[in-house]
Structure 1
Amino acid sequence: MPVSETSAEDIAARLSALGLTTRTEQHARHTSIEAEVPEPLPAETWREVLEVVAEADQFGLVASKLNGRTLWAAIRRAVPATGDVRGPGHQR
């Protein structure tokens, strides 16, 4: 299993262990993890959640009155291990 998938699964599992419901999606260039954040969430749990998502390449929080709070994290997929990854038409 690629490192990016392992990292995403680890982050999702750790967020679940903190009581958040997670969902993971595979995309062309990254794996995303989303979690609904309940109201209220104790300050100590917030600190733990932030420690977990800080391991991702990117993370953020979307909050709205209609949909509540959704935490997201993204892990970039590994770059192919070839000598030239510039693609067709750009090879030496």
Structure 2
Amino acid sequence: MSASEVGAEAIAARLSALGLIPRIERHTRYTSIEAEVPELFPPESWREVLHVVAKADRFGLFASSLSGRTLWALVHKAVPATGNVRGPGHQR
């Protein structure tokens, strides 16, 4: 398991320990973690939640009157460490 996958799994495990139910999705360039946050989530737990998701590369909270609150975090997968990697627009 790569370091980014370990990081994503650790975030999910800590969110689970705080009483949330995380969902993990693996994508080509990143792993996402999402969890629904219940309306009655203990206010004192928010500081720990922020501490946990701060380990991710990106995180946020989506809130809507229709779907409630969804906490999300993204952990980017490692980029190959080689000088031969070419991105869009690079030619030989």
How does the TM-score come out when normalised to structure 1? 0.91
Within 5 Å, which residues of 2 pair with 1:19-34?
A: 19-34=19-34
Change (3 A) 1:48 1:88: closer
2:17 match: 17
Amino acid at match of 2:32: S
Within 5 Å, which residues of 2 pair with 1:1-92?
A: 1-87=1-87, 90=90
Structure 1, unmatched stretches of 5+, are none
Deviation at 1:81, TM superposition (A): 2.2
Q: Could you tell me the percent identity over the aligned residues?
A: 72
How does the TM-score come out when normalised to structure 2? 0.91
Deviation at 1:66, TM superposition (A): 1.2
Deviation at 1:91, TM superposition (A): 6.0
Distance in 2, matches of 1:88 and 1:43, equals 45
Deviation at 1:65, TM superposition (A): 1.1
Change (3 A) 1:42 1:88: closer
Deviation at 1:83, TM superposition (A): 2.2
Change (3 A) 1:86 1:38: same
Distance in 2, matches of 1:72 and 1:90, equals 33
Structure 2, unmatched stretches of 5+, are none
Deviation at 1:87, TM superposition (A): 4.9
Distance in 1, matches of 2:4 and 2:70, equals 21
- Range moving further from structure 2, 80-89 or 55-64: 80-89
Deviation at 1:7, TM superposition (A): 0.2
Partner-residue secondary structure (3-state), 1:71: strand
Aligned residues: 92
